[in-house]
Amino acid sequence: MIRRRLVLSAAAPLAVALVALTVGFHVVLSWRLERDADHALRARADAAAGVLTVSSGRLHMIETPFDEALDNGVWVFDAHGATVSSPAAGALDREARALSGVSRPTFRGFGDDLRFLAVPLREYAAPGGTLVVALSLAPFLEAEHTTLVAAIVFDLFILGLGAVFVRRAVTQALRPVARMTDQAARWSEHDLDKRFSLGPPRDELSGLAATLDNLLGRLSAALRHEQRVTAEIAHELRTPLSQVRLETEVALRRDRPASELRAALTEVSNATDRMTNALDTLIGLAQRDIRPADGTTPAGKVARDALRACRDGAGGVGGIRLDLEQTGEGEVLVGCDHDVVLRMLQPLLDNALRFGRSAVTLQVRREGGDVLFRVRDDGPGFAEDELEAVLRPGVQGRASPPGQGSGLGLALARRLAEAAGGGLTPRASRSGGIVELRLPVAAAVAGNRHS
């Protein structure tokens, strides 16, 4: 869980810092207590030296009231190493005797809780000899142990308190994130139009909100795109399927001459071709992200291929003449794939063949940074007030016979053209129908012309 990892990440450096501080404090405390013990030994040696006297060339200790505490742990040796005063015999006496005869003050430990100090008596203006004092370190060790335990308890308290505060801070910091995550999950299932709308990113939370808003926007766009494609497929298939069903029911209702059956089957075949073309166009557009300058295609070649496909298609061209007019010097390259351009031109030519009377002309030329494909027929054409309407899915022009087509040819061609960085525009004309398809010139060619 991220909350636990964050708490551990924050508590670990605090624990390391507390351990380092405790170790440093313990080292300093041990050094300080050792210094205090040495000072206490020195003070005791000074006090013991104060009761020493020399009589007849020999050292003596002056008897004073309540001198038991002073005599305990004090050894005096003369210049020859003989014992002048000794509190007791045993291991301590042997250790003290080993220190007799030192030439300068010497500290030495004995065991874990005892420390000796040997001082030459000449430092106290005595003729010779050594003064040895001992001090128990038990009080100092006890103080050190108590202080260390107290420091550890304090460290644990601080670490626990810090972990509580860090956990609380992390929880408060992550609560908006969890709330935003839950909201985004609910909106993605039920309402993709909701947004956090926290404005430009100022911190991590507003940056996360902006990212989630963009994600929800892309999901909403993808869903609308899927719904639109599904609706367009349904629109495009409804009329051809109805025609196929009607022709089939009429053909099965009674015996018909072979010519009528052939005509019915031809209509079924044409409707099937329209459904196939519509499905290919819609699915290709839905599955492929067409970008400007995505591939290059010779404009003249794709125009000739489009006319050839019309001549070779089912039903032919019905005696209508198909002409290609290409102006300009050399071949112009379109910044789009051949198959995509072909899918744009085919519904334009199909409409022109359906409404034209005797001739359909496909003009190709370059205008600035665009390649212009103009399809002209000698049919009824478009009225001024229907130029925008005929580009919407499911809308047909007034000249379209009832029951023919579904009004998606121009809409699909326009979508393909805009996805490729171009556009599609019908023109009003008294001399026939005109539809212009503009696509960008290939980037390399456009760059060479401008250089």
Residues 240 and 322 both lie in one domain: no
Residues in CB range of 140: below 8 A, 6 or more apart? 33, 34, 36, 37
Cα–Cα dist 423/437, whole Å: 6
For residue 279, being part of any structural domain is answered with: yes
* The pLDDT value given to residue 204: 72
Long-range CB contacts for residues 42-49, cutoff 8 Å, separation at least 24: 42/105, 42/117, 44/73, 44/74, 44/117, 44/133, 44/135, 45/117, 45/119, 45/131, 45/133, 48/74, 48/76, 48/131, 48/133, 49/119, 49/121, 49/124, 49/126, 49/131
Q: Among 287, 315, 341, where does a domain finish?
A: 287
Cα–Cα dist 136/74, whole Å: 12
Rounded to 10°, the helix 299-312/338-355 angle is 50
For residue 148, being part of any structural domain is answered with: no
Residues 215 and 348 both lie in one domain: no
Residues 318 and 260 both lie in one domain: no
Cα–Cα dist 373/347, whole Å: 13
Cα–Cα dist 28/23, whole Å: 9
Residues 446 and 297 both lie in one domain: yes
Residues 445 and 333 both lie in one domain: yes
Residues 385 and 308 both lie in one domain: yes
Cα–Cα dist 386/249, whole Å: 35
Cα–Cα dist 199/215, whole Å: 15
* The pLDDT value given to residue 211: 82
Provide the residue type at 38 as one letter. Answer: D
* The pLDDT value given to residue 22: 93
Q: Among 253, 287, 321, where does a domain finish?
A: 287
Instruction: Report DSSP letters for 128-160, one per residue.
Output: S-EEEEEEE-HHHHHHHHHHHHHHHHHHHHHHH
Cα–Cα dist 126/78, whole Å: 10
Residue 195's Cβ-count burial label (10 Å; 0-12, 13-18, 19+) is middle
* The pLDDT value given to residue 80: 81
Look up the CATH number of the domain holding residue 18: 3.30.450
The helix or strand, by DSSP H or E, that contains position 73, with its residue range, turns out to be: none
Residues 206 and 276 both lie in one domain: yes
pLDDT per residue of the chain (451 residues) written in tens, 0 to 9: 677 888 888 889 989 999 999 999 999 999 999 999 999 999 988 888 888 877 766 777 776 554 554 557 888 888 888 888 887 667 788 888 888 888 899 999 888 788 999 999 888 877 788 989 998 888 989 999 999 999 999 999 999 998 898 888 888 877 777 787 887 787 777 777 777 777 787 777 777 778 877 887 777 777 776 776 676 666 666 666 776 777 777 777 767 777 777 777 777 777 777 677 667 766 666 655 555 545 678 999 999 999 988 887 645 566 788 899 988 777 889 988 888 888 889 888 988 888 888 899 999 999 988 999 999 998 888 888 888 877 776 566 656 655 455 556 788 788 888 888 899 999 988 788 899 999 999 865 544 544 4
The helix or strand, by DSSP H or E, that contains position 439, with its residue range, turns out to be: strand 434-440
Residues 299 and 433 both lie in one domain: yes
Pull the structure tokens for residue 242.
């109805």
Residues 417 and 306 both lie in one domain: yes
Residues 109 and 61 both lie in one domain: yes
Cα–Cα dist 207/177, whole Å: 11
Instruction: Report DSSP letters for 99-136, one per residue.
Output: TTT-SS-EEEEETTTEEEEEEEGGGGT-SS-EEEEEEE
Cα–Cα dist 26/21, whole Å: 8
CA angle, residues 376, 382, 386, in degrees to nearest 5: 140
Look up the CATH number of the domain holding residue 435: 3.30.565.10
* The pLDDT value given to residue 53: 78
* The pLDDT value given to residue 440: 92
Residues in CB range of 243: below 8 A, 6 or more apart? 267, 268, 271, 403
Hey, CA dihedral for 417, 277, 373, 382, is it positive or negative?
negative
Q: Greatest CA separation found in the chain? A: 165
Residues 345 and 230 both lie in one domain: no
- Residue in this structure with the two tokens 């992200």, named with its chain if needed: 289
For residue 190, being part of any structural domain is answered with: no
Count CB-CB contacts under 10 A for residue 179: 10
For residue 186, being part of any structural domain is answered with: no
Q: Among 227, 255, 287, where does a domain finish?
A: 287
Look up the CATH number of the domain holding residue 261: 1.10.287
The helix or strand, by DSSP H or E, that contains position 369, with its residue range, turns out to be: none
* The pLDDT value given to residue 273: 72
For residue 268, being part of any structural domain is answered with: yes
Residues 296 and 418 both lie in one domain: yes
Direct distance between the N- and C-terminal alpha carbons of the chain, in angstroms, rounded to an integer: 59
Cα–Cα dist 255/261, whole Å: 9
- Number of separate domains in the chain: 3
Among candidate residues 375, 382, 345, the one with its CA nearest the CA of residue 360: 375
For residue 159, being part of any structural domain is answered with: no
- Chain-centroid distance, C-alpha 107: 66
Domain that holds residue 324: 290-450
For residue 123, being part of any structural domain is answered with: yes
Hey, CA dihedral for 330, 333, 339, 344, is it positive or negative?
negative
Residues in CB range of 293: below 8 A, 6 or more apart? 335, 336, 421, 440, 442, 443
For residue 389, being part of any structural domain is answered with: yes
* The pLDDT value given to residue 98: 87
| Alpha-helical regions (H) of 356-451 | 409-419, 443-450
